[in-house]
Amino acid sequence: MSNRVGIEVSIAVAEAVGLCDVDVVAAYPITPQTHIVEHLADLVAEGKLNAEYIAVESEHSAISAVMGASATGGRAFTATASQGLALMHEILFAVSSLRLPVVMAVANRAVSAPINIWADLSDVMPQRDTGWVQLFAENGQEAYDLMVQAFRLAEDHRVLLPVMVNLDGFTLSHMIEPITMMERNEVRRFLPPIEPARLLDPDHPRSIGPFGAQDVYTEAKMQQEMALLRSQEVMEEIWQDFEAQFGRRYHAVESYRTGDAEVVLVTMGAVSETARAAVDEMRAQGIAVGLVRIRMWRPLPQEELRQALEGAKVVAVLDRMLTPGGTGGPVGEALRSIFYDAPVRPRIYEVVAGLGGREINRRTFKEIVRQALAGQEQVRQFTFLDVRCA
C-alpha cells in the first residue's frame, strides 16, 4: 500500500510516461491536456527524466517532431486534445503508415464551435480511421497503467504502430484520486528498452516514407491493417503479463452484471464508472440491467463485443459524439454492423448525450434504460437524450 497516493490523474499520467524512460517529448499545451505536458516539462527540467523536451509551435509540429524522433529509434511521447488533435490529423496517418511506435495521451474534449473545453469524444472519433491503436481509460489507475502498456504494445515487433490513450477531459484528467504508483525498476522489468525494428541511421541509410504508386499502395495498406488487427492479441498477452507482475487485470471489453441482463448498456471512457453505479441501483430495484465497457476501440474487438452482448434483448448505447448527418454515433454504428449478420440480433437503442461536457450521471443511465425497456421505437437510429426541447 506504500505506493498508493492521492494524485491528479494528469500528473500520474506524466509520471507513468517518465517511468517509461522516454527519449523525446514534444507537445503544445491545450486544455485539458496541459497538466500532463507541464509536469513532463518539470520532470525534464528538474533532471528527473533524461529526455529531450521540445516546446513546439503547434500540434502539427508536435506530432511531426515525435514522428521524427521515433524514426531515429527514440521512445517518443506527445499529448493533446480537441482542436490540437484536429490539427495533428494529417500527420496521424503518416505515423501509423510508417509504423512508428509513438504513444500519445488525448484528454478528450469537444471541438469548436461554440468554443467548449469540456469532455466529449468528438475530437478522437474523427481520428478513428487514422490507423492508430485507440484505448479508452475509465479511471486514473487505468490511465496510468495504460500509458506503460501502450509503449510495450506500440514497440512490439508484431505491431509497430502508434497508440493513443484516451482519458476524458476534466472528469478524468483533472480528478484527484488514489493511484497505486509503480517503481522505476518494476516498469523497466515490464517494459524493456526500445528495440527499433529499423531506424534512420546515417551508417545504414534507408528511406522511410517513400513514394508508393498504384502498384504498391494497396499492399502497404494490407500490411498495416494486418498489424493493427494483430495488435489485439498482443495486447491481451501484455495484459496477462501486467497482471502477473502488478496484479491488475485488463480486457479489451469488460462486462458487468450482464449474465441475465435484459438490457445492456454500452459505454466508453470515464462515464463507465457512473454507469456501473447506476446498474447497481437499478439491479437493487429489480431491473435486469448490465454494462459492457469498450476499452479497446481500435482495433475493434468485434468477437468479444458480440459475445458480451448476444444474450441481451436490448443493447442501450451511449455515444458521446454525433456523426453529423449520419446514422447516429460511432459506437452505435459499429454495434449495428457487428450484429447485422448475427442469427439473433438484440434491439439497439442508441442515445447521443454528454456533448461538450454536459453532465452524465446515474439518472442519465436510468433514463436510457427506462426508454430502452419501454420498447419505445427510435424515430431515427438515435435519440438526443439530453437536449432541451420546447
Partner 1 sequence: MMEIRFHGRGGQGAVTAAELMAQAAILDGKYAQAFPNFGPERRGAPVTAFLRVSDQPIYLREKIESPDTVVVLDPTLIDLVNVADGLKPGGMLVMNLAASGRGALAKYGDQFQVAVVDASRIAVETIGIPVTNTAILGSLIKACGITSLKTMEGPMERRFGRLAAKNLLALQRAFEETEVLAAPAAPSPADAPVVQEPCTYAELLQREALLVWDQLQIGCDIDRPGSTAAFHTGNWRSAGRPFIDRDKCISCGFCHVYCPDLAMNFTDDGAIEWDHRYCKGCGICAEECPKGAISMREESHEQ
Q: Does 222 bind partner 1 (CB under 8 A)?
A: yes
Local structure of 1: helix, strand or coil? coil
Q: What is each CA distance from 190 to 110, 174, 269, 319, in whole angstroms?
A: 35, 27, 25, 34
Q: What is each CA distance from 13 to 67, 78, 178, 319, 382, in whole angstroms?
A: 21, 12, 13, 25, 35
Per CB under 8 A, the list member of 115, 176, 226, 342 interacting with partner 1 is: 226
Q: Give the integer Cα–Cα distance in Å for 6 and 164.
A: 25
Q: Among 3-11, 128-136, 199-207, 325-333, which window interacts with partner 1 (CB under 8 A)?
A: 199-207
Per CB under 8 A, the list member of 4, 206, 248, 363 interacting with partner 1 is: 206
Q: Does 48 bind partner 1 (CB under 8 A)?
A: no
Phi and psi torsions of 269, nearest 5°? 80, -160
Please identify, using beta-carbon distances, which residue of 208 and 277 lies nearer to partner 1. Answer: 208
Q: Does 194 bind partner 1 (CB under 8 A)?
A: no
The grid coordinates of residue 41 equal 516539462
Q: Does 209 bind partner 1 (CB under 8 A)?
A: yes
Local structure of 141: helix, strand or coil? helix
Q: Among 30-38, 202-210, 364-372, 380-388, which window interacts with partner 1 (CB under 8 A)?
A: 202-210
Please identify, using beta-carbon distances, which residue of 45 and 220 lies nearer to partner 1. Answer: 220
Q: Give the integer Cα–Cα distance in Å for 223 and 97.
A: 9
Please identify, using beta-carbon distances, which residue of 99 and 293 lies nearer to partner 1. Answer: 99
Please identify, using beta-carbon distances, which residue of 212 and 375 lies nearer to partner 1. Answer: 212
Cα 248 to its chain centre, rounded Å, is 18
Per CB under 8 A, the list member of 215, 260, 341, 377 interacting with partner 1 is: 215
Terminal Cα distance for the chain, rounded:
53
Give the type of residue at 142: E
Shortest gap between Cβ of 301 and partner 1 (angstroms)?
A: 23
Q: Does 220 bind partner 1 (CB under 8 A)?
A: yes
Per CB under 8 A, the list member of 47, 192, 205, 324 interacting with partner 1 is: 205
Give the type of residue at 329: G
Alpha helices, DSSP H, located in 247-329 = 271-284, 302-309
Q: Among 30-38, 171-179, 221-229, 371-379, which window interacts with partner 1 (CB under 8 A)?
A: 221-229
Q: Does 158 bind partner 1 (CB under 8 A)?
A: no
Is 252 within 8 Å of 232 (Cβ atoms)?
yes
Q: Does 2 bind partner 1 (CB under 8 A)?
A: no
Please identify, using beta-carbon distances, which residue of 207 and 285 lies nearer to partner 1. Answer: 207
Q: Does 229 bind partner 1 (CB under 8 A)?
A: no
Residues in contact with partner 1, counted by CB under 8 A, come to a total of 25
Please identify, using beta-carbon distances, which residue of 86 and 208 lies nearer to partner 1. Answer: 208
Q: Among 142-150, 216-224, 233-241, 290-298, which window interacts with partner 1 (CB under 8 A)?
A: 216-224
Please identify, using beta-carbon distances, which residue of 199 and 277 lies nearer to partner 1. Answer: 199
The grid coordinates of residue 60 equal 502539427
How many Cβ atoms sit within 10 Å of the Cβ of residue 5? 14
Please identify, using beta-carbon distances, which residue of 44 and 197 lies nearer to partner 1. Answer: 197
Residue at grid coordinates 427506462: 370
Per CB under 8 A, the list member of 178, 212, 326, 375 interacting with partner 1 is: 212
Footprint on residues 61-120 left by partner 1 (CB under 8 A): 97-100
Residue at grid coordinates 497505486: 180
Q: What is each CA distance from 133 to 228, 232, 261, in whole angstroms?
A: 7, 9, 30
Is 101 within 8 Å of 161 (Cβ atoms)?
yes
Please identify, using beta-carbon distances, which residue of 90 and 225 lies nearer to partner 1. Answer: 225
Local structure of 104: helix, strand or coil? strand
The footprint of partner 1 (CB under 8 A) covers: 97-100, 160, 197-198, 205-216, 218-220, 222-223, 226
